[in-house]
C-alpha cells in the first residue's frame, strides 16, 4: 500500500474512531427489551449511523453499564448529529471518487491528484473535528468512573489492535 493511501486509510480510521464512541453508544443503547432489533433502530438513513463502519471499535462503550437516562442522552446526541455525518459521508465518498478518477486519468496530472488528495484530507479533517465534538458531548454524559473505565478499555483495545498490525507493511 502506498504511503499516500496509508495516510488516507489512517485518516478515515481516526475519523471513524472519533465518531465510533458516539455511534457505539447509540447502538448499545437502542434495544433493551429483548426483542429483535430492527435494522435501523435509532440510526441514520438505511440503518447506517455515524461511525457505522467502525463497529469493531465500539465495544468499550457497551461495557460501561449506562443508565437508561444516559442511554437516552447519548441517543439524542447521536441523533442530533446524524444529518451532519450523512453530509460528511457524502462529501467523503465524492472526494474519494474524484481522487481515484484523477489517479486513473491518462495522461497523469500530478497537480490534479494533489488537489483531489487535499480535498480528501480536508473532508477527513472535518470528520475528525465533528467526531471529536460528538465524543466530547458523550463524555459529558458519563460519570467520572465511566470515563476512567472508558480510557482503560480504549487503551487496552488500542494495544491489542497495534499488536495485530505489526509486521504488516
Of these ranges, 1-10, 28-37, 108-117, the one predicted with the greatest mean pLDDT is 108-117
Report the predicted TM-score, pTM, of the whole model to 2 decimal places: 0.62
Contact 127, 19 (CB under 8 A): yes
Cell of 35: 426483542
Q: Which of 14-23, 45-54, 86-95, 126-135 has the lowest mean pLDDT?
A: 45-54
C-alpha to C-alpha distances, 64 to 42, 82, 104, 142, nearest whole angstrom:
19, 23, 46, 9
Binning pLDDT at 50, 70 and 90, where does residue 63 land? Answer: confident
Contact 119, 99 (CB under 8 A): yes
Exposure of 102 in the CB half-sphere (CA atoms within 13 A): 18
Contact 132, 22 (CB under 8 A): no
Give the torsion sign (CA, 15, 19, 20, 23): negative
Confidence check: pLDDT of 145 > 90:
yes
Q: Residue 50 and residue 83: Cα distance in Å, rounded?
A: 9
Amino acid at each position: 500500500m502506498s504511503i499516500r493511501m496509508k495516510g488516507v486509510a489512517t485518516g478515515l480510521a481516526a475519523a471513524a474512531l472519533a465518531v465510533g464512541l458516539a455511534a457505539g453508544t447509540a447502538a448499545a443503547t437502542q434495544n433493551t427489551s429483548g426483542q429483535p432489533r430492527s435494522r435501523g433502530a435509532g440510526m441514520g438513513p438505511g440503518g447506517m449511523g455515524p461511525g457505522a463502519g467502525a463497529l469493531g471499535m465500539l465495544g468499550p462503550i457497551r461495557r460501561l453499564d449506562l443508565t437508561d437516562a444516559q442511554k437516552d442522552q447519548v441517543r439524542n446526541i447521536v441523533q442530533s448529529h446524524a444529518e451532519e455525518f450523512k453530509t460528511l459521508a457524502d462529501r467523503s465518498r465524492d472526494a474519494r471518487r474524484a481522487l481515484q478518477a484523477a489517479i486513473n486519468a491518462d495522461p497523469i496530472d500530478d497537480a490534479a491528484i494533489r488537489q483531489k488528495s487535499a480535498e480528501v484530507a480536508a473532508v477527513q479533517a472535518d470528520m475528525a473535528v465533528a467526531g471529536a465534538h460528538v465524543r466530547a458531548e458523550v463524555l459529558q454524559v458519563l460519570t467520572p468512573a465511566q470515563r476512567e473505565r472508558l480510557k482503560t478499555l480504549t487503551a487496552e483495545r488500542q494495544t491489542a489492535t497495534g499488536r495485530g498490525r505489526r509486521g504488516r507493511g
